[in-house]
Amino acid sequence: MADDFEKMTFEIDDSVAIVTINRPEARNALNDEVRRDLDRAITRIEDGAGDTIHAVVLTGAGGAFCAGGDLNALKESSGKAASHTRQRLRESHRLLTKWLNLDVPTIAAVDGAAAGAGFSLALACDFVIASPRARFILSFGRIGLVPDWGALYLLPRIVGLQKAKELSFSARILGAEEAQTLGIVYEMATDGEAVAQAVAFANRFRNASTLAIGMTKSMLNQSFERDLATSLDLEASAQAIANNSDYHRAAVERFLDKQPSLFDWEKQTG
């Protein structure tokens, strides 16, 4: 139920889960309540993946995506032992890993600022749809911190090592158009339509095989770390599983019977 959430809203619209960080007074900064809500949302998505949920849209309320870490919480922890911060980040990394490993496609709808860990959270989505007023900034350097929530892993895989260093070292603001040029933003939305456009995009996956997408996503996420032999072995194993699925058998039957494909990206609309 929605009552499970303190600082998020969670709804399902035609098999698309819409997860909204709801701390507009703090520009949707990641405090403990948001972290707990994210954990709950991930569990609900995992439980519904391939059944009631075929894609996820992540966004923020009140004109911002996510301002990153809550500065009040950071101030309170600044005088504590380094082990405290390390443990806190490890818990965040557990959530990030679960999010990255979701079997269904994840789409960030960015309207306004995605700063610090908020930028990292957008990078952790499979696709980013941004409004013209979206802004991305690895703001950690402005307060003497190291980029976290996976940014140092995710960003260079999208923009290349040299550009990742520049964005990390400079902590400069990256506009939506430049972010699209760099490959961070997949698609631009018109003003005020980022969430609606992201939901329409997510709806294109509603007839896809969650099993096949989940296995493909997992292998792609780890493709930079695996050698060719391991990748090919995993590909063979995944294909054997997909080939034995009810979805595949039904799709082949439709093809042989000259029926339209259940999932056709070119014809599917939101």
What distance separates the 2 farthest-apart alpha carbons in the chain? Answer: 69
Three-state secondary-structure class, residue 124: coil
Entry pTM: 0.93
What distance in Å separates the CA atoms of residue 189 and residue 196, rounded to the nearest whole number?
9
Structure tokens at 94: 């557990």
Distances (CA, A) of 43 to 29, 49, 249: 21, 10, 29
List own/partner pairs for 31-35 with CB under 8 A and 24 or more apart. 31/7, 31/70, 31/73, 32/73, 33/6, 33/7, 34/7, 34/8, 35/91, 35/92, 35/95
Query: What are the percentages of helix, strand and coil residues in the chain, rounded to 5?
Result: 50, 15, 35
Three-state secondary-structure class, residue 113: strand
pLDDT tens for the chain, 270 residues long, are 455 899 999 999 999 999 999 999 999 999 999 999 999 999 999 999 989 999 999 999 999 999 998 766 665 666 677 787 788 889 999 999 999 999 999 999 999 999 999 999 999 999 999 999 999 999 999 999 999 999 999 999 999 999 999 999 999 999 999 999 999 999 999 989 999 999 999 999 999 999 999 999 999 999 999 999 999 999 999 999 999 999 999 999 999 999 998 888 877 665
